[in-house]
């Protein structure tokens, strides 16, 4: 029975990697500090909000502000709306991106590169430039003030098509040729071969789309008029009063809005990193 040999510790190698480790530690702290600071405000008494330098964690931590947020706004309804909108947007984006990327990556037809370049060119345009045309279309379809009106304009994006195209291009053509020799058609190649082999990319695209659709604010605020349909990104604004605002309540609402997508990323980070590694290649 063979055992794996662990690499020997080398002080010289550790010293060479010390600057990189310090830089990564500093970047990690800079990325995590806003969330930690917001959480500290949410569980504190509010007196440390304007302190400089701001404390990392309050001395009198408590969770009463989270219960106050639950009593102040219909948090469960807003959370359900966010789950519906984000879930439908994510599933729709995965389906549309994969279906659009497969012919661009594995089928040969005239104008294929021109179509792909036209799709990529849309990345140069800000998303807000489509608001007027999308709103007119949604209104004429009778989907204004509905969750479906928020979802439909968001399920087709150039980033998703670009990522899935590279995912399908990484699949060796020999596998697809062997499947075609066995009698598989284009749909069977797509469904039984390409999709299972591109699961890390699908997970990466799903996490990106989920985080974006969970936090999006402008487009739902344009389409939705009924407060009962508001997602959590809009609903937490009810914690901000017209003449007085409780910073502790707003911070607690922001933490509650962040926690679901943070949990999804923690559980799916393995697939996310594999997909990002393939996308960089």
Domain-wise residue ranges, the chain: 22-62, 77-280
Asked if pLDDT for residue 75 goes beyond 70, the answer is yes
CA-to-CA separations, 50 to 35, 41, 53, 54, 62, in angstroms, rounded: 16, 10, 9, 7, 19
CA–CA dist 250, 267 (Å, integer)? 27
Q: What is the pLDDT of residue 108?
A: 86
Cβ count near 103 (within 10 Å)? 16
How many CB atoms sit inside 10 A of residue 35's CB? 13
Does residue 274 surpass a pLDDT of 70? Answer: no
Residue 94's pLDDT is 95
On the question of pLDDT at 116 being above 60, the answer is yes
pLDDT of residue 256: 86
Stronger pLDDT, 209 or 280, i.e. the higher one: 209
Written in H, E and C, the secondary structure of the chain is CCCCCCCCCCHHHHHHHHHHHHHHHHHHHHHHHHHHHHHHHHHCCCCCCCCCCCCCCCCCCCCHHHHHHHHHCCHHHHHHHHHHHHHHHHHHHHHHHHHHHHHHHHCCCCCHHHHHHHHHHHHHCCHHHHHHHHHHHHHHCCCCCCHHHHHHHHCCCHHHHHHHHHHHHCCCHHHHHHHHHCCCCHHHHHHHHHHHHCHHHHHHHHHHHHHHHHHCCHHHHHHCCCHHHCCHHHHHHHHECCCCECHHHHHHHHHHHHHHHHHHHHHHHHHHHHHHHHHHC
CA within 13 Å, CB half, 187 = 0
In this predicted structure, what is the pLDDT of residue 230?
93
User: CATH number of the domain at 77-280, please?
Assistant: 1.10.3720.10
Say whether pLDDT at 1 is over 60.
Answer: no
CA–CA gap between residue 166 and residue 270 (Å, rounded): 19
Give the residue, 273 or 143, on which the prediction is more confident.
143
- Say which residues have a Cβ less than 8 Å from residue 18's Cβ, sequence separation at least 6: none
- Work out the average pLDDT over 118-132: 86
**Whole-number pLDDT of residue 241:** 59
pLDDT range class, residue 242, cuts 50, 70, 90: very low
53 pLDDT band (50/70/90 cuts)?
Answer: low
Separation of alpha carbons 132 and 138, rounded Å? 10
pLDDT score of 280 = 46
Choice between 243 and 168, residue whose per-residue pLDDT is larger:
168
Q: Is the pLDDT of residue 3 over 70?
A: no
Query: What was the pLDDT predicted at 54?
Result: 66
d(CA 247, CA 239): 9
Looking at residue 43, what is its pLDDT? Answer: 82
- Answer whether 192's CB lies under 8 Å from 184's CB: yes
What's residue 271's pLDDT? 65
168-172: long-range contacts, CB 8 A cutoff, minimum separation 24: 168/101, 168/102, 168/105, 168/106, 168/194, 168/198, 169/105, 169/106, 170/198, 170/278, 170/281, 171/106, 171/197, 171/198
273, pLDDT greater than 90? no
pLDDT tens-digit readout, 197-240: 998 899 889 988 998 999 898 999 999 999 899 999 888 887 77
Weakest mean pLDDT among 124-128, 136-140, 191-195, 225-229: 124-128
pLDDT at 259: 86
Question: Which of the residue ranges 182-196, 208-222, 230-244, 264-278 would you say has the lowest mean pLDDT?
Answer: 264-278
């Amino acid at each position: 029975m063979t055992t794996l040999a662990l690499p020997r510790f080398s002080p010289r190698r550790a010293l060479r990697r010390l600057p990189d480790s310090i830089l990564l530690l500093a970047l990690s702290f800079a990325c995590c500090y806003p969330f930690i600071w917001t959480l500290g405000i949410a569980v504190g008494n509010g007196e440390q909000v304007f302190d400089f330098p701001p404390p990392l964690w309050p001395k009198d931590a408590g969770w009463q502000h989270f219960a106050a947020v639950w009593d102040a706004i219909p948090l469960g309804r807003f959370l359900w709306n966010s789950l519906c909108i984000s879930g439908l947007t994510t599933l729709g984006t995965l389906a549309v991106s994969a279906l659009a990327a497969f012919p661009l990556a594995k089928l040969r037809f005239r104008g294929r590169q021109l179509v792909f370049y036209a799709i990529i060119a849309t990345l140069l345009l800000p998303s807000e430039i489509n608001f007027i045309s999308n709103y007119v279309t949604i209104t004429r379809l009778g989907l204004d003030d509905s969750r479906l009106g928020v979802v439909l304009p968001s399920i087709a994006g150039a980033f998703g098509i670009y990522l899935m195209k590279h995912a399908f291009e990484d699949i060796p053509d020999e596998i697809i040729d062997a499947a075609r020799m066995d009698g598989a058609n284009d749909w069977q190649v797509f469904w039984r071969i390409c999709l299972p082999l591109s699961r890390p990319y699908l997970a990466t695209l799903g996490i990106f789309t989920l985080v974006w659709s969970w936090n999006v604010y402008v487009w739902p605020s344009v389409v939705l008029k009924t407060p009962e349909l508001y997602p959590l990104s809009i609903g937490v604004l009810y914690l901000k009063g017209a003449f007085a605002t409780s910073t502790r309540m707003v911070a607690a609402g922001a933490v509650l809005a962040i926690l679901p997508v943070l949990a999804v990323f923690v559980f799916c980070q393995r697939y996310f990193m594999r997909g990002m590694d393939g996308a960089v290649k």
